[in-house]
Amino acid sequence: MAGAESTGEPSLLFEHIDLIDEDMAWRRDAFVGVRGDRISYVGTGEPADADAYDGRYDGRGRQLMPALYDAHAHAPMTLLRGYAENLPLQSWLNDRVFPFEARITDQDARWATDLAIAEMVRYGCVSFSDMYYCDDARCESVRDAHVKCNVSRGLTAFGETDYRKIKEYAANEHLFSDWDGAAQGRIKADMCIHAEYTNNEPVCRAVAERTRELGAIMHVHVSETASEVAGCRERHQGRSPVEFLADCGVFDSPTVAAHCVWVDEADMDILQEHGVTVACNPASNMKLASGFAPVPRMLERGMRVALGTDGPASNNAHDMFRDMYLLATVYKGSSKDPSVVTPAQALRAATRAGALAQGRDDCGLVREGFKADLCVLDTSGPSMWPVTDMLANLVYSSTGAEVVLTMCDGVVVYRDGEWPTIDVERAKAGTQAATERIRAELAQGGAR
């Protein structure tokens, strides 16, 4: 209204914009206000203090929705995009990925994480759960790009059984003391066990205990392949990876279990009982021929299901709209039931479910008082018309290319081909140089 005064916080009013509201329903011609890092208004008409907003965004021909939350990623693996192709998981890991990763430096990881974040925000994603190493480099990248991340350090222990003697112990303590809650809470430290098959029981039990002490979230790969499950049963008296990890106390803390492709009803009983969030990765699981997680059954049971991209070496992209499309289509084919995984379920997995998996309870919905994590799509193009069901259009017809604005905690991190918080050209050049150096080292058989 005339005469209204600014509160002093940066603010923006989206006007006459279509909206995916907090109930995952489509609303036409809405107004959404942002003040500071929060959503200050959602309504069908102008807010009373409309003139007090610093700027206005004309939303005609545009769609506003929650930004996306990637529940399972390996951002520095952008370095390996296109490198380890057409291989099953174990050969992919042991013959290609692990030797390459042994040569990644902190600076390499910084370039690659910058580039990964640039790709994420280009496609509407503002937060990701990242399992890797080079922790300071990753956290610095997240901080400077003004996005969110649950950072965990992948832990492997093939021989040593004393967790405190493994280098990851000190790394985890540093991660929690120096980075947990940093960047106005945008960075969270998680604990991590890479997987059952890369760790032994004493270490798994010790990490589970330390996770409980810290009150942290656990991030772990679970039952990604049939061979992983068979090997676990041989190693651990017939127990599946889910049973083994549960016995070790891993699920006693809030847990994100990535993949869960080869789980049975007994496994799902355990996961559901412990409130574990399954981070489904349909693109990666198909590309590595690992199989299809029983997502329709998980959703039918009321289990928590979020969506992840995994790494660019097994997905090749950080475009979560592609993964939403796969989540909503592949299970129709694999189950021969066209009714499973609705657009609303896929969209929720990529937004609210991912935010909750990261312990970000005030994120993932367009709701007054929630964090202003938003993305805007241009829906004026031919692929988005006619509009019979906008959620169906968003999941089945759109791609990340329709995203024209991405906002994290009220800060615009991508808009119309520009990245205000990231030097994308420098990230591209640095990542390319690092990849070429490592590939040359591997070809020569030289040490890092």
CATH number, domain 68-357, options 3.20.10.10, 3.20.20.140, 3.30.390.30, 3.40.50.720: 3.20.20.140
Task: Give the type of residue at 408.
Answer: C
Assess whether pLDDT exceeds 90 at residue 158: no
- The whole-number pLDDT of residue 7 equals 56
Predicted TM-score (pTM) of the model is 0.95
Q: What's the pLDDT band for 447 if we cut at 50, 70, 90? A: very low
Strand 374-378 versus strand 62-66 pairing type: antiparallel
* Domain residue limits, the chain: 11-66+370-415, 68-357
CATH number, domain 11-66+370-415, options 3.80.30.20, 1.10.760.10, 1.20.1250.20, 2.30.40.10: 2.30.40.10
Tens digits of residue pLDDT in 121-135: 999 999 999 999 999
Q: What's the pLDDT band for 1 if we cut at 50, 70, 90? A: very low
Number of Cβ within a 10 Å radius of residue 230? 12
More confident residue, 63 or 4: 63
Which of 112, 129, 132, 122 has its CA nearest to residue 187? 129
Assess whether pLDDT exceeds 50 at residue 108: yes
Burial letters for 417-430: b for 16+ Cβ neighbours within 10 Å, e otherwise?
A: eebebbebeebeeb
Tens digits of residue pLDDT in 186-209: 999 999 999 999 999 999 999 999
- The whole-number pLDDT of residue 192 equals 98
Which residue do the tokens 């796969």 mark?
326
Tens digits of residue pLDDT in 262-272: 999 999 999 99
Mean pLDDT of 356-372: 98
Neighbour-count burial of 28, counting CB atoms closer than 10 A to its CB (0-12 exposed, 13-18 middle, 19+ buried): exposed
Rounded CA gap, 73 and 158, in Å?
23
Which of 88, 78, 113 has its CA nearest to residue 317? 78
Assess whether pLDDT exceeds 80 at residue 446: no
Rounded CA gap, 423 and 114, in Å?
8
Mean pLDDT of 238-243: 98
Assess whether pLDDT exceeds 60 at residue 52: yes
Rounded CA gap, 213 and 2, in Å?
54
Assess whether pLDDT exceeds 70 at residue 6: no
Mean pLDDT of 98-125: 97
Tens digits of residue pLDDT in 420-441: 999 999 999 999 999 999 999 9
- The whole-number pLDDT of residue 88 equals 80
Mean pLDDT of 394-406: 96
